[in-house]
Amino acid sequence: MDATDEAAREGAPSDARAGTGGGAPHAGRPDGAPAPRERMPRWLPRAMVLALALLACFQLANWAFHQLIGLLVNILIAFFLALAVEPAVDRMAARGVRRGLATLLVFLGVIGFFAGFFVLLGSMLAGQIVTMVENFPQYLDSVIRWINESFQTNLSRVEIQDSLLRSDWLKKYVQNSATGVLDISTTVLGGLFRVLTVLLFSFYFAADGPRLRRALCSVLPPTRQTEVLRAWEIAVAKTGGYLYSRGLMALISGVAHYVLLEFLGVPYAPALACWVGVVSQFIPTIGTYLAGALPMLLAFTVNPWYALWVLCFVVVYQQFENYLLQPRITARTVDIHPAVAFGSVVAGTALLGAVGALIAIPATATLQAFLSVYVRRYEVTDDPRVQGRPRRRTIGPALAKFRRAWRG
């Protein structure tokens, strides 16, 4: 009995090892045949290859998108610019002018206006810079005199000039400026190429607008064609309204800054007011700072303290425009809520930077107007909380008894 148990204990591991190896008969099968091996499913290699292919395609698409994002943004700007000039092109085409020629004339008019404006402003600015350079020693003497009288110091212009010329900061600045000339030239050339790209695409979008719409509608069923054409029409109307609002705000800004500059006696006040109005409204994000720098520079030539007054006025007016004027005007011309307009500008800036801030409001207005067709609306209940009327307060029973007892 003991020998049998010992043999059983010694044979159990060997049987288990043999069973796993497949050489010994399987204990669970009556015929003693070896257990079949599990095979890999036939679909698993195909699934792995398909997954790897999809991952490679995703990586390739992601790389291509990041490489072409600049071109896509330029096409988006060109599309909205084409929507802005399309009403004028349609009017000229309705009078018998060929659409390509009408688009060319509209673009030449816009480019000629801005080119003439900047050339006139540049000639004026060049004369003022020469005057400012000639009178700079006098300005510096007046500032040093004020510092000496206010803080009881003994500064002199000659000592300040010598310390600046011998300073390491000036030497490093000159060296960095010399090495940065190539970078500045590259940036300028890249900006010019981008402007030409936007103008070329916008010209084709405006000139071939009907052909583009036909090509788009040819791949859609009739019901979808109607929706696409309605969305296109809404986009044209909202973009035109947005440009009208920008022009109105440019006019208001120009008048306000003209009054200030004329009051301070700054030369060329009308031209400077036009500069502030146009640049601050049609160059997003940094347009306000570019617009305010030039009036400050010319105000400095009259009186250094006038530049500080101009800076304070620019900052205060910008806050007034951002939080009060712009939301109300865009709400009337583009027909969106002021809070939605402000939020769309913030969101557009976060997504696409300056370009997003420029096209955020017309894009949001277009999307809102298009979706409003598919939103079903119901009659609102006559409730004071909805209609905005004050709620009537009910008097409790105890208070009513007290009033009756008091009156009795």
Residues 344-364 pLDDT 10s: 777 887 887 777 777 777 778
Q: Tokens standing for 73?
A: 């943004």
Lowest mean pLDDT among 92-101, 122-131, 246-255, 290-299: 122-131
* Res 298 pLDDT > 90: no
Residues 300, 280 within the same domain: yes
pLDDT, mean of residues 166-178: 68
State whether residue 372 is helix, strand or coil: coil
Report the amino acid identity of residue 315: V
Q: Which two tokens stand for residue 119?
A: 């050339």
128 is a domain residue: yes
**Residue 44 covered by a domain:** no
Residues 6+ apart with CB under 8 A from 404: none
Range of the domain at 137: 67-164+185-208
Please tell me whether residues 139 and 255 are part of one structural domain. no
Write the pLDDT tens digit of every residue in 61-108. Answer: 999 988 888 888 888 888 888 888 888 888 898 888 899 899 999 999
For residues 369 and 241, membership in a common domain is answered with yes
Residue type, 264: L
CA–CA dist 87, 90 (Å, integer): 5
Same domain for 332 and 192? no
If asked whether residues 192 and 299 sit together in one domain, one would say no
Does residue 343 sit within a domain? yes
Helix-helix angle 338-352:326-333, to 10 degrees: 100
Return the closest-CA partner of residue 251 out of 163, 178, 325: 325
Q: Tell me, what's the pLDDT at 186? A: 76
Whether 193 is covered by a domain: the verdict is yes
pLDDT reading at 21 higher than 50: no
Q: Which positions ≥6 away from 142 have C-beta within 8 Å?
A: 304
Residue 276's Cβ-count burial label (10 Å; 0-12, 13-18, 19+) is buried
Q: Are residues 94 and 154 in the same domain?
A: yes
Asked if the structure places residue 172 within a domain, the reply is no
Say how far apart CA 375 and CA 368 lie, in whole Å: 10
Average pLDDT value for residue range 168-186: 67
CB atoms within 10 A of CB 108: 10
Q: Are 294 and 237 in the same domain?
A: yes
Residue 284 and residue 189 in one domain: no
Asked if pLDDT for residue 262 goes beyond 80, the answer is: yes
In sequence order, which residues have a C-beta less than 8 Å from that of residue 273 and are 6 or more positions away?
Answer: 254, 255, 257, 258, 261
CB neighbours of residue 333 within 10 Å: 21
The answer as to whether 390 is a domain residue is no
Question: Same structural domain for residues 331 and 362?
Answer: yes
Structure tokens at 65: 């998108």
Distance separating alpha carbons of residues 365 and 251, to the nearest angstrom = 23
Selection from 291, 302, 292, 293 nearest residue 262 by Cα: 302
Query: At residue 120, does pLDDT exceed 90?
Result: no
Going by C-alpha positions, the residue among 313, 316, 343 that lies closest to residue 327 is 343
Residue 106 is which amino acid? V
- Give a yes or no: residue 6 inside a domain: no
Q: For residue 53, is it within any domain?
A: no
Q: Which are the contacts of 275, defined by CB distance < 8 A and separation ≥ 6?
A: 121, 291, 294, 295
Domain co-membership, 280 together with 198 = no
Distance CA 203, CA 82 (A): 7
SS3 at position 199: helix
Predicted confidence band of residue 7 (pLDDT cuts 50, 70, 90): very low
Do residues 310 and 260 lie in contact, with contact meaning Cβ atoms separated by under 8 Å?
yes
Q: At 377, is the pLDDT very low, low, confident or very high (cuts 50, 70, 90)?
A: low
Phi and psi, residue 311, nearest 5°: -60, -45
Same-domain status, 195 and 273: no
User: Is the Cβ–Cβ distance between 193 and 200 less than 8 Å?
Assistant: no
Domain count for the chain: 2
Averaged pLDDT, 126-150: 76
Which range, 167-181, 269-283, 378-392, has the best average confidence (pLDDT)? Answer: 269-283
- pLDDT score, position 142: 79
**Residue 194, token pair as written in the block:** 């981008």
d(CA 249, CA 331): 13
Contact criterion met (CB below 8 Å) for 206 and 79:
no
* 93 within 8 A of 102, measured Cβ to Cβ: yes
Cα distance between residue 55 and residue 49, in whole Å: 10
Shared domain for 204 and 292, answered yes or no, is no
